[in-house]
Amino acid sequence: MSTIKFGIRSVRLKSYSLRELGLENEVNAKMRVEYRQNYFHLHFLPLFPTTKVLRLRKEDQQLYEIPEHIRTVIASQIKEKPKTPWYTFLGPIILLVGLTFYFGNLGIKNYQTKAYYKEKFNQTRDHSLQLLDSLDTHVYFKIRDTKRSFRTDGLYAKVENIYKDSIQLVKLHTDLKYDEDRLSYQVQKYYETYAANLPAEWVSIDTLKKAILREYGSSSKNKGIHIFETTMIIEEAASIYKEPYLVTDGKGVDYIKKQMSLRLKNYGCEAIISKIHLKKGMLKWDQEFPIDFSKYSSNTYSKLTIYATYENKEEEYEFIIDLRDDENMLHQYEVKGTLENGFKLKRIRSGSKRK
C-alpha cells in the first residue's frame, strides 16, 4: 500500500571553505561549511521554502549540525547571504498555473456556451418574426411564458382566422413540455375533436411581435401584453407528424428478476408495435405482440413500456422494432445499447407497404 511522503528537505545554496571563514587549522582543513535552504516537500516535490541553515560537511561527505556559538561566528563572516532559489516555491507556482489554466478554460467554455445559446436564441427570434409575416390557418404555435421561463408549462395554439393585421388564436392545451421539439399528431387530433369548445382570442400581429424577446438574456418590457391571460413568447412553429415518431423515455433494470424495461414515446400518428426482431444479444420478450400505443395516450404523445428477460447484463443488444400505422404502413426503428448505458433509437424505414 502506497503512502504519502512529505517532510523537510534541504538544498545547498553555497559552500565555504574554512579558510574563507577564518576557521582553518591542520585538523579540519578539508571540511566545508554549507549554507542550505530547507523546504517542505510532498513526494519530493518542493512546495515552499522554510528556513536557511548552516551545516558542516566532513570528509565522509555527511552533513553535521554546527554548535550554536560557532554558527554565530560563521554567520558574522558571511557578508552576502545566498538568495532562496525560485524552484523551492514550486508549489505556489504550480497552483497559480493550475488555477490560471482552470479559470481560463472555464471562461472560454462559458463564452462558447453563451455564444451558442445566443445564436440559437437569435435564430428562434428571427424565425418567429418571419413566421408572423406569413401566417395561414394551418400554423400551430408552441408558446411559453417569458415571466416563468424556468418552468416547463405553456400551451399550443392554432391560427383559426386572419383578418387584416390581426389573427384569432385557439388555445389547445396547457401541459406543454419545454423539451418537446415539435407538435405531435395528437395535438392536431385534439384540435379536430374539441375545436368547437376551445377558447379563442383575437390579437394583433404587432402585439405578438412586441411580445417576442429581442435580446438574449433580456426580459420582456411589455408587461401589459397578454395572450390567453399570460405574457408569451412565440418559440417556434411546429410541423405535424404524419407518421409514428418514436423516442426513448428511459430504461429500467431489475437485476434480481433479470428483467429489463424500455420506455417509449410516440409523438406521431397512432401506431402499434407489430413485431421486434432480435439481431444481437439474448432477450426474451415478456409481452405478446402486437401492442397498441393508443391505450396509453395523452394530448401530445402516446407511450408504452416493453419488457424482456435477459441472460447476461454485460451484453450488447440490437433489435428492430416494427411499427404499423392506421394505414398498415410499416415503419422500423433500430435499437442499440446496453443495460448499463441505455439504448439509442434510429429510424431505418418509413412508410413502406412491405408485409
CB 317 within 8 A of CB 327: no
Q: How confident is the model at residue 280 (pLDDT cuts 50, 70, 90)?
A: very high
- Residue ranges of the domains in the chain? 6-84, 126-237, 246-352
Q: What is the pLDDT of residue 222?
A: 39
Do 234 and 211 contact (CB within 8 A), yes or no?
yes
Q: Which residues have a Cβ under 8 Å from the Cβ of 84 and sit 6 or more positions away?
A: 13, 37, 49, 52
Find out whether the peptide bond into 244 is cis, omega within 30 degrees of 0.
no
Task: Name the band, by pLDDT with cuts 50, 70 and 90, for residue 322.
Answer: very high
End-to-end CA distance of the chain: 65
Residue 33 CB-density burial (10 A; 0-12 exposed, 13-18 middle, 19+ buried): buried
In the block, residue with C-alpha cell 424495461: 261
Residue 228 has a pLDDT of 34
Rounded Cα distance between 245 and 204, Å, is 34
Q: What percent of the residues of the chain are helix, what percent strand, and what percent coil, each to the nearest 5?
A: 25, 40, 35
pLDDT at position 229 is 31
Q: Is the pLDDT of residue 274 over 90?
A: yes
pTM of the predicted protein model: 0.44
pLDDT at 234 over 60: no
Instruction: Encode pLDDT of 18-40 as tens digits.
Output: 877 777 664 566 788 888 888 88
pLDDT at residue 190 greater than cutoff 80: no
Asked if residue 279 lies in contact with residue 320, where contact means CB atoms within 8 angstroms, the answer is yes
CATH classification code of 246-352 = 2.60.40
The answer to whether 292 touches 264, Cβ cutoff 8 Å, is no
Among 25-29, 44-48, 318-322, 347-351, which range has the highest average pLDDT? 318-322
pLDDT tens string 37-84 = 888 877 777 777 888 888 888 878 888 888 887 888 788 788 788 887
Amino acid 25: pLDDT: 62
Top-confidence residue, 1 or 194: 194
How far apart (Å, rounded) are the C-alpha atoms in residues 259 and 255?
Answer: 7
233 pLDDT band, cuts 50/70/90, is very low
Whether residue 231 has pLDDT greater than 50: no
**Percent residues over pLDDT 70 in the chain:** 78
